[in-house]
Structure 1
Amino acid sequence: MSYPGYPPSGGYPAFPGYPPTGQESVYPPAGQYSYPPVPGGYPPAGGGTYPAAPPSAGYPGAAGYPALGGYPAPGGYPGAPQAGGMPPYPGAPTGPGFGVPPTGPGFGGYTQTPAQSYAGGGPAQISGYPGGQAPSPMPGPPAAMVQCTQGTIQAAPNFDAGRDAEILRKAMKGFGTDEQAIINVVANRSSDQRQKIKAAFKTMYGKDLIKDLKSELSGNVEELILALFMPSTYYDAWSLRHAMKGAGTQERVLIEILCTRTNQEIREIVNCYKSEFGRDIEQDIRADTSGHFERLLISMCQGNRDENQTVDYQKAQEDAQRLYQAGEGKLGTDESCFNMVLASRSFPQLKATVEAYSKIANRDLLSSIDREFSGNVERGLKAILQCALNRPAFFAERLYYSMKGAGTDDSTLIRIIVTRSEIDLVQIKQMFTQMYQKTLATMIASDTSGDYRRLLLAIVGQ
């Protein structure tokens, strides 16, 4: 079995399956069976080496040959991008949520998500980093690390508020309700687009969309859809009001909102609370809470946290020493010192303080707060630190415990899914899988049912 002109004297190195058993080392003519693997044919007779794989062919080469010695990758990072992405820096943790493909012209440097804040480090668990010390960040200025966040809901292209209003009207008109049609609209429109649908509905039909939805829906699916139609600032203010309204206080709701929002978001929430409910949020907090927890929440309400992204490592060292002397290094605890540092420093600054503290105290700051505080003030301080270290991990943990065990805390589940759906729910999902070895969608599917389940899964995305 031979082909004209093949093999030239010296032959070729054998590929699997070639030559057929018992026959001389030959290859089919060019053009058959995907040979030769690269333009230009086989290497010269007598051996030689294959040319390095071109970047467009991937690495290893698409035809299966080694790119000897590698090839220079765009942007100069080690290795080449693969179909599933590449580790963003040497030694980066692997698994769900990691291996994000590089972005930008020429891949310009490393990409880092909140899930990848530390090289080799896992999520900021409630007890802190393993071994009591956060691993050191990768060399290079923090400003060069790009923290990308992404929501599962994006603004719909070719959006038509009137068309969507008509779809919702038809879904609710007559006998019965077409819940799937409602889900298809609300789960695939941004919050801003939903406000426009609400306005178009009133213009077109002279009716209030929210009242119509309330009359057609009930239970958790009603709460979820109404939450989706609230502007984000109003929804936060509404959640805070309901957490303090009537007998008892839902302190975890106050912590979740006031300890995680940006300065601008907090100021807008405080103003909205006043304009929509005619109440002063500080007065309501003072009436419903007390002691160090009250003072922490009042500090949060000011919306005056330093938001400078540049880290002052000398100040981090001083703050770490101050916190150690206020807690582990003395009998009793100076709570006001913890309040001052955690309420006023920027999140990147707090991250540096956590690292400095672990070297001074030989334990991580989260563990020290565990030992020095209890109750709601402990939960509030830890929420601030967890957001500084890894915000998606904080929300992943809250979601997990809203569904763990008997029953479901539906209000917490709804609130976090809705409020993070356009911000960082993609990263929260990744952290959830990494922390609990199951997907968020799997846990939602096993804990909910009916239209409520369908809508939640549509927002979360499969």
Structure 2
Amino acid sequence: MALRYTQGTVVGQGSDLDKERAAVKLRKAMKGLGTNEKAIIEVLSSHTNHELQQIKDYYKTCYGRVLGEDLQSELSGHFEKLCLYLLLPRPHFQAYCLHHAMDGLGTNETTLIEILCTSTNDEIAAIKQAYTERFKKDLVADLEGDTSGHFRRVLVGIAQGNRSEDQVIDQALVKKDADDLRKAGVKKIGTDESVFNRILVCRSVPHLQAVFQAYKLMDKQDILSAIWSETSGNLREAYLAIARYVIDPLEYFAECFYQSMKGAGTDDERLMQLVVNHCEVDLQDIAEKYLEKYHKGLSRAIYDDTSGDYRKLLVRLANINVIQPTAEQFMAKYSTETPETKLVS
């Protein structure tokens, strides 16, 4: 995949990075009786992942201690997990998410789909390397062992990291691929999944965008409707993820955020993964799309669905004011803010 937006919410310190100051602040926050969670939140939410790796190293140099272990001994619950997630090098975090999705009984197919189906070739290569380094296992082998059927084939295919990155569109191939998809689905009794796999997994993003447009002209329905009617289960979700991401990556991830928080309860693991993976990349863009699509600010949704220090860190990562107002105060303050407004105090 090649589509990426650049408005993240965590921009870091850049040339103003002061590793010593950050390390000292973290040590003081955990030394002695009690823990200064506010100081921990301030450091972790104001530095990029690359900067946090430098701070981790400096912390160990200064104190002979492992920052992650100190945080584990002082914190608990979702707040602890989110802090530890932020400290992992990004490919290692994604590798952890994939391993966690397949470890033990059952498989979290949603995590596999959201990470693998939206990653670039370079990102997949980095994740596979991190997976091997961290777990002494091969990601593709684990995918083969934990999934089955055409769903396995599409994930294993994506995990090869060989999607075309050609930006030149061959109109003859576009027409052929659109026709092949049509013949493999709506024009066929049953569905030829191998055709869908070959095109959706191998073709470049610009090519797929053109294919989806051509498909709609041929069939009078869009590719999403065709996938929905012709497939089912996890395979359907994987195909839909690829297609939705190609059509509009911001809308796709906005929906992922919405799904993590809708209804009774919150899928905190999914919410944390989304925030950590996108806060430096495109979270501000996603938030604007979320407001457009659901007529509610992403900041308000996160605030309403979480609590405590876990909430404070999440909203800081999302570039939101961390003061905890009442619901009425929150609405009065933020209901008139434009999507572009930064709400950090």
The answer to whether the 8 A contact 1:260-1:387 is kept is: yes
Structure-2 residue corresponding to 1:203 = 61
1:267 to 125, 138, 145: 125
For residues 364-410 of structure 1, give each alpha carbon's deviation from its aligned partner in whole angstroms, at most 9, with x where no partner exists. Answer: 00100000000000000110111111111111101101110001000
The answer to whether the 8 A contact 1:396-1:431 is kept is: yes
For residues 191-237 of structure 1, give each alpha carbon's deviation from its aligned partner in whole angstroms, at most 9, with x where no partner exists. Answer: 00000010000000011100000111110111111111000100011
Alpha-carbon distance between aligned partners in 2 of 1:193 and 1:240, rounded to the nearest angstrom: 24
For residues 339-385 of structure 1, give each alpha carbon's deviation from its aligned partner in whole angstroms, at most 9, with x where no partner exists. Answer: 00000011111111110000001000010000000000000011011
Task: Give the letter aligned to residue 340 of structure 1.
Answer: R
Structure-2 residue corresponding to 1:231 = 89
Alpha-carbon distance between aligned partners in 2 of 1:382 and 1:416, rounded to the nearest angstrom: 18
Task: Give the letter aligned to residue 291 of structure 2.
Answer: T
The answer to whether the 8 A contact 2:12-2:46 is kept is: yes
Matched, 1:301 2:127: no
Q: CA deviation at 1:148?
A: 4.5
Aligned to 2:248, the other structure's residue is in SS state helix
Q: How does 1:20-39 map to 2 (within 5 A)?
A: none
Aligned to 1:154, the other structure's residue is in SS state coil
1:393 to 242, 251, 255: 251
Aligned to 1:274, the other structure's residue is in SS state helix
Q: How does 1:25-174 map to 2 (within 5 A)?
A: 148-157=5-14, 158-174=16-32
Structure-2 residue corresponding to 1:434 = 292
Greater shift, 278-287 or 413-422, is seen at 278-287
Structure-1 residue corresponding to 2:172 = 314
Alpha-carbon distance between aligned partners in 2 of 1:311 and 1:221, rounded to the nearest angstrom: 46
Alpha-carbon distance between aligned partners in 1 of 2:171 and 2:72, rounded to the nearest angstrom: 53
Task: Give the letter aligned to residue 347 of structure 1.
Answer: V
Structure-1 residue corresponding to 2:149 = 291
Q: CA deviation at 1:268?
A: 1.4
Alpha-carbon distance between aligned partners in 1 of 2:230 and 2:120, rounded to the nearest angstrom: 27
Aligned to 2:299, the other structure's residue is in SS state helix
Structure-1 residue corresponding to 2:341 = none
Structure-2 residue corresponding to 1:79 = none
Structure-1 residue corresponding to 2:112 = 254
RMSD: 1.0
Task: Give the letter aligned to residue 205 of structure 2.
Answer: F
Task: Give the letter aligned to residue 203 of structure 1.
Answer: T
1:423 to 263, 269, 281: 281
Aligned to 1:305, the other structure's residue is in SS state coil
1:454 to 307, 312, 318: 312
Aligned to 1:407, the other structure's residue is in SS state coil
Matched, 1:366 2:224: yes
Bigger-Rg structure (1/2): 1
Structure-2 residue corresponding to 1:353 = 211
Task: Give the letter aligned to residue 108 of structure 2.
Answer: Q
For residues 35-63 of structure 1, give each alpha carbon's deviation from its aligned partner in whole angstroms, at most 9, with x where no partner exists. Answer: xxxxxxxxxxxxxxxxxxxxxxxxxxxxx
Alpha-carbon distance between aligned partners in 2 of 1:313 and 1:424, rounded to the nearest angstrom: 31
The answer to whether the 8 A contact 1:347-1:387 is kept is: no
Task: Give the letter aligned to residue 150 of structure 1.
Answer: Q
Q: Stretches of 4+ moved more than 6 A in 1?
A: none
Structure-2 residue corresponding to 1:184 = 42
Alpha-carbon distance between aligned partners in 1 of 2:318 and 2:174, rounded to the nearest angstrom: 37
For residues 97-145 of structure 1, give each alpha carbon's deviation from its aligned partner in whole angstroms, at most 9, with x where no partner exists. Answer: xxxxxxxxxxxxxxxxx8xxxxxxxxxxxxxxxxxxxxxxxxxxxxxxx
Structure-1 residue corresponding to 2:102 = 244
For residues 12-43 of structure 1, give each alpha carbon's deviation from its aligned partner in whole angstroms, at most 9, with x where no partner exists. Answer: xxxxxxxxxxxxxxxxxxxxxxxxxxxxxxxx
Alpha-carbon distance between aligned partners in 2 of 1:312 and 1:435, rounded to the nearest angstrom: 33
Structure 2: any 5+ residue segments left out of the alignment?
321-345
The answer to whether the 8 A contact 2:5-2:281 is kept is: no
The answer to whether the 8 A contact 2:25-2:39 is kept is: yes
Using the size of structure 2 for normalisation, the TM-score is 0.90
Alpha-carbon distance between aligned partners in 1 of 2:81 and 2:113, rounded to the nearest angstrom: 21
Structure-2 residue corresponding to 1:403 = 261
Aligned residues: 317
Alpha-carbon distance between aligned partners in 2 of 1:274 and 1:449, rounded to the nearest angstrom: 35
Alpha-carbon distance between aligned partners in 1 of 2:216 and 2:271, rounded to the nearest angstrom: 33
Task: Give the letter aligned to residue 212 of structure 1.
Answer: D
Alpha-carbon distance between aligned partners in 2 of 1:308 and 1:216, rounded to the nearest angstrom: 49
Matched, 1:326 2:184: yes
Alpha-carbon distance between aligned partners in 1 of 2:171 and 2:36, rounded to the nearest angstrom: 58
Task: Give the letter aligned to residue 417 of structure 1.
Answer: V
Alpha-carbon distance between aligned partners in 1 of 2:19 and 2:297, rounded to the nearest angstrom: 33
Alpha-carbon distance between aligned partners in 1 of 2:224 and 2:171, rounded to the nearest angstrom: 19
Matched, 1:382 2:240: yes
Task: Give the letter aligned to residue 382 of structure 1.
Answer: L
Structure having the higher helix fraction is 2
Task: Give the letter aligned to residue 418 of structure 1.
Answer: V
For residues 415-447 of structure 1, give each alpha carbon's deviation from its aligned partner in whole angstroms, at most 9, with x where no partner exists. Answer: 010011111111110111111000100001110
Aligned to 2:169, the other structure's residue is in SS state coil
Alpha-carbon distance between aligned partners in 2 of 1:253 and 1:244, rounded to the nearest angstrom: 9
